[in-house]
Structure 1
Amino acid sequence: MKIDDKLKNPVWYSLCETHQKFVINYDDVKFYDPKICPFGAFTDGSKTATALNEYAKLTDKFFLVSENETPTYDSRFITLDKKIEGCQMVLDNLVELEISEEIVQLTENHVDEIYNLIWLVMPGYYKKRTFDMGKYFGVFKDNQLVAITGQRMQTDDFIEVSAVVTHPNYTRKGLAKQLTHFVTQEIIKDGKHPILHTTKGNPAIGLYEKLGYRLTRDMNWWYYHSTQI
């Protein structure tokens, strides 16, 4: 299968390949173990309602991710909070960048620090065991973790750059740019193609474009919550 076909449904193919150990299957709908990541994907929107009802017994808030398909849901048990209009970016050619910061790979010992920083900047979705999805790298200042970038969805062909987060006291210092560049290089070293996802209109899109990424397609995030729990 061509990489472009997998990129049309990145959560699905991540759960079919590299992250298969995290999968929870409901017919033609696949979800991550909710302790890892509250994401799901599907190939047939007519089958998502039953799957959502089952998954909602495990966790109260979760996403289905799709390019342009619309999932169905059972309004007796599930509420659609919002549809987040996102976009996918794929690296063309990595632009050279001088790395002046000391960037370190984060370990199990940093899980709480990663979680706390992400929830400070982007509260709501990150789980502590999302750390298990890929490598995470960070920058420390005065023994404090102040910026991170990690890896999330993965297949045999691509790895997603994710969790690009900087503490509010350390923004506008180029930390996110250097970390994104560094993690992108690490993905290339692994022989895979770097991709990332963000929301439409996010100012960070300009930063990613300067590093050599380009917008490729829409990617929608359907955010639900359970009325069963």
Structure 2
Amino acid sequence: MAHPLDNIFWNTLSGTHAHLSTGTASARRYAPGFSPIVGFPDPQQPDFAALLPFVESGERFYCDAWSGPAPAGWRIEAESTMYRMIWDGAMPQQDAAPDAIPLDARHAGQAVALALLTKPGPFGPRTIELGEYFGYFDDGDRLIAMAGERMAAAGLHEISGVCTHPEHQGRGLARRLMLKLIRRQLLRGETPFLHVMRANEAAHGLYLRMGFRDYCETVVRVVTPEAHSVP
């Protein structure tokens, strides 16, 4: 029997976050403004043709578990692999970030700016609406670290958007925010998971030490529709 993590993109977009996504029974994407992620019932045989009516020229999307040539009307812009990790540790004994500030729509601009600077993964101006987000600000009220939640299905909840401004790295801010979220999820009866690019060895090592374990390593691609293919 397949584990929900085996196709977490689709399980989220067609289930828990169906109201935040658009598409058909064979292809779905987060609605514009959210993280540019797409999912398919069978990710190794993605129906990109079904997705075309729901995209605009110039949009770039992340998809996983699929390899092979680019489908008609689409271009592959980037390809790598990432680890999908699941929590295997104990409950954090206390809130590691009691002074963190909850983020909401008022902070969207700063959150996008920090994500563009640090590149934690696909992020949009409405991504912080997908779950709880917390951050730290400097004395000038500039967002300098954040972490939050994104995909969710079958009792699993993703830790995502983890990043720290380069001027404030090395202080453990992101780790504290992650531990806060992990504790909150576990208290709700949820199991945390996350994604980290294979090339990001430092982050992968940190997550292993924190209590995550590798569930799988999967292909991740960035694709974009050819301009002449968009209806």
Out of 64, 67, 85, the position equivalent to 1:70 is 67
Corresponding residue to 1:89 among 85, 89, 92: 85
Structure 2: gaps of 5 or more residues:
none
* 1:80 to partner: Cα distance: 0.7
Deviation at 1:70, TM superposition (A): 3.2
TM-superposed CA distance for 1:58, in Å, is 6.3
Q: 1:129 aligns with which of 126, 130, 137?
A: 126
Change (3 A) 1:186 1:59: farther
Distance 2:121 2:149 in 1: 18
Give the RMSD, CA atoms, in angstroms: 2.4
Query: Which one-letter code corresponds to 2:103 in the other structure?
Result: L
Q: Which moved more, 1:35-44 or 1:176-185?
A: 35-44
Which letter does structure 2 place at the counterpart of 1:115? V
Q: Give the partner amino acid of 2:137.
A: F
Q: TM-score, normalised by structure 1?
A: 0.87
Query: Shift of residue 18 of structure 1?
Result: 1.6
Contact 1:48 / 1:72 at 8 angstroms: preserved in 2?
A: no
Q: Distance in 1 between matches of 2:68 and 2:36?
A: 16
**Match in the other structure for 2:215:** 216
Deviation at 1:135, TM superposition (A): 0.9
Do the aligned partners of 1:101 and 1:175 also contact (CA within 8 Å) in 2? no
How far 1:47 moved relative to its partner? 4.9
Higher mean displacement: 103-112 or 7-16: 103-112
For 1:183, the equivalent position in structure 2 comes to 181
The answer to whether the 8 Å contact 2:120/2:162 transfers is no
SS of the aligned residue for 1:80 comes to strand
Q: What TM-score, normalized by structure 2, do the two folds share?
A: 0.86
Match status 1:173 vs 2:171: yes
- Are 1:10 and 2:8 counterparts? yes
Q: Which 4+ stretches in 1 moved above 4 angstroms?
A: 95-98
CA contact (8 A) 2:29 2:37 kept: yes
Displacement of 1:122 in angstroms is: 1.2
2:162 alignment counterpart? 164
Aligned partners of 2:23 and 2:51 also within 8 Å = no
Change (3 A) 1:55 1:80: farther
Q: Which runs of 5+ in 1 are unaligned?
A: none
Is the aligned partner of 1:195 residue 2:193?
A: yes
1:27-77 deviation line (CA, Å, top 9, x unaligned): 4222211321211111334452313433443652112222xx4366434x2
Q: Which moved more, 1:99-108 or 1:77-86?
A: 99-108
SS of structure 2 residue aligned to 1:79: strand
Partner of 2:31: 33
* 2:12 partner letter: S
